[in-house]
Amino acid sequence: MTADRLSQQNTPTQVTELLLQVILTARVLGILVDVTRRVTVKRDMVALQLLTTLGPLRASELAVMLGISRGAATRLVDGLERAGLAHRESDPRDRRAVLITPTPAGRLAALADIAPAAVLTKALLRLDTNHVVALQSSLDALLTELLRGLPQCRP
C-alpha cells in the first residue's frame, strides 16, 4: 500500500470526524444561545428514536418500552411537543386514543443522533478525492466559524 493510498483512506475518516465535530459544535452553540430546542435528556431522545422507527405510538406504549410510568410518559410527550419534536393526533382505529407522532424536526433530530460515522465514511470513500478535499476544506471553515460563537474557555 502506497503512502498516497493510505492518505486517501484516512481522508474520509478525517472528514467524517470533522463533519461530526461540526454537527456537535452546532448543537452546543444552538443550546448555548437558545436558538434551537434540542432534547437534552437521553430518555427523550430514545422516545424520539422509537417513534421514528416504529411509527406513531400511544403514550402508554412508550411508557412500557421506556420502563416509566404513564404520568412520566405524558410529561415526556409534553416536553417533546413544546420542543416541536412530536405531536399528538387521534388514533384512527380508536377515537378515544391518542397517538404520538414525531414531527419532521423530531425525525431529523432522532436520525442525526444515531447516524453512524461508518455510514458517512463509506459514502465519502465513494466520492472523488477532489470532492473529499473540498468538503474537508469547507467543513474546516464552517467549524472555525461555529467555534467563534462559543464562549472562550481555558486551553
Q: Is residue 38 over pLDDT 70?
A: no
Query: Does 123 or 41 have the greater pLDDT score?
Result: 123
pLDDT band, residue 45 (cuts 50/70/90): confident
Query: Does 64 or 26 have the greater pLDDT score?
Result: 64
Identify the weakest region by mean pLDDT among 27-31, 35-39, 58-62, 98-102.
Answer: 35-39
Average pLDDT over residues 29-35: 53
Average pLDDT over residues 18-33: 65
Whole-number percent of the chain with pLDDT over 70: 74
pLDDT band, residue 128 (cuts 50/70/90): very high
Residue ranges of domains in the chain: 41-114, 116-145
- CA gap 58, 14 in Å, rounded: 42
**pTM across the whole model:** 0.54
Q: Is residue 72 over pLDDT 80?
A: yes
Identify the weakest region by mean pLDDT among 31-35, 47-51, 144-148.
Answer: 31-35
Q: Which CATH architecture has domain 41-114?
A: Orthogonal Bundle (1.10)
